[in-house]
């Protein structure tokens, strides 16, 4: 999984500035890849950036992407780790020339809360 860049670049922030506070995603991820991953999360969960990211605390408009103030950000990190473990153990194998794996979309299908089966 990877995330998008241009939409997440702060006004006045240099394009080549490295993302901060990455705990699950690769620390050397490019801004472009980070933006792709984040846009993937947006689409898979049908949410906007403020679902997981906290607003800037200094009164400026925009998001503080490095902040951990929004608890949903840590939930997202745990979900990424869970998906990676499942893929590594069960799905990260090639079948008929296609690499099979799961992603956020597998369960969320564009909804913030995935539908679950109940008896």
30-75 tens-digit pLDDT:
999 999 999 999 999 999 999 999 999 988 999 999 999 999 999 9
- Give strand ranges (E) for the chain: 54-55, 63-64, 93-95, 98-100
Residue 12 binned pLDDT confidence (cut-offs 50, 70, 90): very low
Bigger pLDDT: 5 vs 112:
112
Are residues 34 and 7 in contact, defined by beta-carbon separation less than 8 angstroms?
no
More confident residue, 12 or 82: 82
Number of C-beta neighbours around residue 65 at 10 A: 21
Reported pTM: 0.78
Q: Taking the chain, what is the end-to-end CA distance rounded to the nearest angstrom?
A: 32
**Helices within 10-70 (DSSP H only):** 31-45
Rounded Cα distance between 71 and 29, Å, is 23
Q: Rounded to an integer, what distance in angstroms lies between the CA atom of residue 2 and that of residue 26?
A: 9
Rounded Cα gap, residues 41 and 103, in angstroms:
10
pLDDT confidence of 27, banded at 50, 70, 90? very high
* Contact criterion met (CB below 8 Å) for 29 and 17: no
Residue entry with tokens 């990190």: 77
């Amino acid at each position: 999984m990877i995330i998008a860049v241009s939409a997440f670049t702060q006004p006045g922030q240099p394009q080549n500035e490295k993302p901060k506070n990455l705990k699950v995603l690769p620390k050397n991820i490019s801004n472009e890849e980070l933006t792709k991953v984040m846009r993937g999360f947006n689409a898979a969960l049908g949410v906007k950036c403020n679902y997981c990211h906290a607003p800037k605390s200094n009164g400026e408009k925009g998001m503080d992407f490095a902040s951990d103030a929004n608890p949903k950000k840590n939930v997202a990190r745990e979900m990424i780790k869970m998906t990676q473990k499942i893929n590594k153990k069960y799905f990260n194998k090639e079948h008929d020339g296609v690499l099979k794996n799961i992603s956020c979309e597998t369960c969320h299908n564009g909804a913030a809360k995935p539908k679950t089966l109940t008896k």
